[in-house]
Amino acid sequence: MNKQVLCVVLFLLMAGMAAAAENSGLTFLKIGIDARAAAMGEAYSAVCNDAAATYWNPAGLARAGTNSIVLMHNSWLQDINQEFLAVQLFHGKHNLAFAVNLIQINGIQLRDERATENPIGTSSATNMYLGLNYAAPLGQDWSVGGQLKYLYEKYYLTWAEGIAVDLGLRKKNVLPELEWGLSIQNLGKMNKLRSQASPLPLILRTGVSYVLPEKIIRIKPLAAADLYYTGNNRLQLNLGVDVPVLQNISLRGGYSLGADSHGLTAGFGIGYWKINVAYAFVPYQYDLGYSHRFSFAIYF
CATH number at residue 289: 2.40.160.60
Query: For residue range 115-136, what is the model confidence (pLDDT) as tens digits?
Result: 666 666 666 788 999 999 999 9
Residue 75 domain boundaries: 2-299
Amino acid residing at 225:
A
What DSSP character marks residue 50? S
Please answer whether residues 160 and 198 qualify as being in contact, where contact means their C-beta atoms are separated by less than 8 angstroms. yes
CB-count exposure of residue 80 (10 Å: 0-12, 13-18, 19+): middle
Strand 142-155 vs strand 158-175: parallel, antiparallel, or unpaired? antiparallel
Instruction: Choose from 9-13, 30-34, 154-158 the range with maximum mean pLDDT.
Output: 30-34
Over 50: is that where the pLDDT of 21 sits?
no
pTM for this model (two decimals): 0.86
The partner residues of 236 in beta bridges, in order of sequence, read: 228
Q: What is the mean pLDDT of residues 178-188?
A: 96
The partner residues of 253 in beta bridges, in order of sequence, read: 241, 266
Over 80: is that where the pLDDT of 196 sits?
yes
285 or 203, greater pLDDT: 203
Q: What is the pLDDT of residue 258?
A: 83
43 or 123, greater pLDDT: 43
Q: CA 183 to CA 79: how far, in whole Å?
A: 30
List all residues 6 or more positions away from 59 whose beta carbon is below 8 Å from its beta carbon.
Answer: 53, 135, 143, 144, 145, 168, 169, 170, 181, 183
Distance spanning both ends of the chain, measured CA to CA: 33
CB-count exposure of residue 18 (10 Å: 0-12, 13-18, 19+): buried
Q: What is the pLDDT of residue 213?
A: 81
Tally of domains within the chain = 1
